[in-house]
Structure 1
Amino acid sequence: MNNYVVATIKDWNIAQYNKRTPAYNGNWHLITDKKELTYSHLKHLNPKYIFFPHWSWIVPEEIINNFNCVCFHMTDLPYGRGGSPMQNLISLGHTTTKLSALKMEESIDTGPIYLKRPLSLEGTAQQIFLRCSALTFDMIQFIVNENPEVTPQEGPVTAFSRRNPSQSVIDTNLDLDAIFDHIRMLDADSYPKAYIKHGKYKLEFTNATKSNGALTANIKLTLFE
């Protein structure tokens, strides 16, 4: 029976792993700490695939070169290679995207594609991540069952830059629709929230809704550090 590994750090992916993998073919192993992702440990397991849904660290070349490593990227690759894909897509006005499952290479997001599936960008970042997580494990199951061949990425390359926390500040010159998108695209657990600096205070915005030309949101007020 084949062994399979899922390496992830996000609670929503860990919950999907615990819910879904008992019904999948093979023996499954979960890694949630980068200290556990070692060549010696993986060599002992000898997994057919290692899946990386939302992994935040560079995977060592020794692992990439010796195992079938599959990562997931929230764009229709090669469009949108790089960091913060969801936030960049929403900032550019996209309402839908594709989740790409690709074979990991040493270069970021350049590997050949196993499959792609459509993904809605409606709702808060948290809702999108939860939706993406469920879709990711559907795709994992498909790869395990069907062993699809990879195909090279095709088309013009568009690169995204990883966002930093300073970009979470709300530009008050934007219209309400853009401010709404800015708030919702940062509204997820462990992500820096959209905010406005007012005097010595920081006003963070979550749970935004729009109605009758007005925007309503929860506000958390703290001293600005």
Structure 2
Amino acid sequence: MESNSITVLVDNDSWIIPYARKLVEILREKGLDAAFADSADKVRVGWINFMLGCTRIVDDDVLQRNKHNLVVHESNLPEGRGFAPMAWQILEGKRQIPICLLEASDAVDAGDVWIRDMIALDGTELCDEWRVLQGEKTIQLCLRFVNEYKVLAPLKQEGAPSWYVRRRPVDSRLDIDKSMRDQFNLLRIVDNERYPAYFEVDGQLYTLQIFKARGGDSGA
């Protein structure tokens, strides 16, 4: 390791930003030269570039600035490459969500895997709640890489890949002819602000937001 410089890159206004900044603070407390970057051109030369929640393709010249360029992906790679794997798996009814820390590569989500772990859900978490679990686990994996670097060994992905497509606003549409129970997992993954659940009645669209009742209170 020629440098202890670490960049934490988030190239959009993702919900992951507070967790990325928390990671930077923890790394600094450990005596490491850590910095947050909101665009790829701000990535510094150094040891690690953690790329969290990034949506843009990073040029090779940026990747070459660091010894490791690491991505967090929530699936049992090579299964579940692509977009929004956490949301898609919750929609499928899964309560054990695999999560990987892997090396960025030319092909999407195809790099060597450094760490595999799991996010445990109880089936009641709404979007804000499971994002907390996802964000905290992301920090844990990044810190494990830093702390256990000398004993970790990357493993190549084995098996045929499968893919999740990008979620669109239309994917938050409810079917008024289906029960609430049948669509509960869909309600669990909608973003109340950015991509709220919606439905249509007689040509009129309606949006629907979901929150947990406080203290068991079922009142308004």
TM class by smaller structure: 0.7 to 0.9
Give the length in aligned residue pairs.
Answer: 204
In the alignment, structure 1 residue 12 sits paired with structure 2 residue 14: no
Once the two structures are superposed, residues 20-48 of structure 1 have per-residue CA deviations (whole angstroms, 9 ceiling, x without a partner) of: 3333341101012x2xx22xx54xx3220
Judge conservation of contact 2:6–2:35 (CA < 8 Å) in 1.
Answer: yes
Give the aligned partner of residue 199 of structure 2.
196
Rounded Cα–Cα distance in structure 2 between residues aligned with 1:124 and 1:186? 8
Query: In proportion to residue count, which structure has more strand?
Result: 1
Q: Compute the displacement of 1:139 (Å).
A: 1.1
- The code of the aligned residue for 1:104 comes to A
* SS of 1:178 mapped into structure 2: helix
Judge conservation of contact 1:195–1:202 (CA < 8 Å) in 2.
Answer: yes
Give the aligned partner of residue 116 of structure 1.
116
Judge conservation of contact 2:27–2:34 (CA < 8 Å) in 1.
Answer: yes
* SS of 1:117 mapped into structure 2: strand
Rounded Cα–Cα distance in structure 2 between residues aligned with 1:180 and 1:20? 36
In the alignment, structure 1 residue 175 sits paired with structure 2 residue 174: no
* SS of 1:157 mapped into structure 2: coil
Give the aligned partner of residue 63 of structure 2.
64
In the alignment, structure 1 residue 86 sits paired with structure 2 residue 92: no
Trace 1:12-91 onto structure 2 (pairs within 5 A). 12-17=18-23, 19-32=25-38, 34=39, 37-38=40-41, 41-42=42-43, 45-67=44-66, 68-91=68-91
Distance 1:177 1:15, change over 3 A: farther
Q: Compute the displacement of 1:3 (Å).
A: 0.4
Q: Compute the displacement of 1:51 (Å).
A: 0.4
Q: Compute the displacement of 1:155 (Å).
A: 2.8
**TM-score (normalizing by structure 1):** 0.80
Equivalent of 2:158 in 149, 154, 158 = 154
Once the two structures are superposed, residues 57-84 of structure 1 have per-residue CA deviations (whole angstroms, 9 ceiling, x without a partner) of: 2212322345311000111111100112
**TM-score (normalizing by structure 2):** 0.82
Distance 1:88 1:217, change over 3 A: farther
Give the aligned partner of residue 2 of structure 1.
4
Rounded Cα–Cα distance in structure 2 between residues aligned with 1:124 and 1:14? 21
Judge conservation of contact 1:124–1:187 (CA < 8 Å) in 2.
Answer: no
Runs (5+) with no aligned partner, structure 1: 210-215, 219-225
* SS of 1:141 mapped into structure 2: helix
Runs (5+) with no aligned partner, structure 2: none
Rounded Cα–Cα distance in structure 2 between residues aligned with 1:174 and 1:101? 38
Q: Compute the displacement of 1:15 (Å).
A: 4.8
Q: Compute the displacement of 1:128 (Å).
A: 1.2
Distance 1:200 1:60, change over 3 A: same
Give the aligned partner of residue 184 of structure 1.
188
Give the aligned partner of residue 132 of structure 1.
134
Distance 1:150 1:217, change over 3 A: farther
- The code of the aligned residue for 2:55 comes to S
Aligned-pair RMSD on alpha carbons?
Answer: 2.4
Q: Compute the displacement of 1:114 (Å).
A: 0.7
Rounded Cα–Cα distance in structure 2 between residues aligned with 1:75 and 1:25? 32
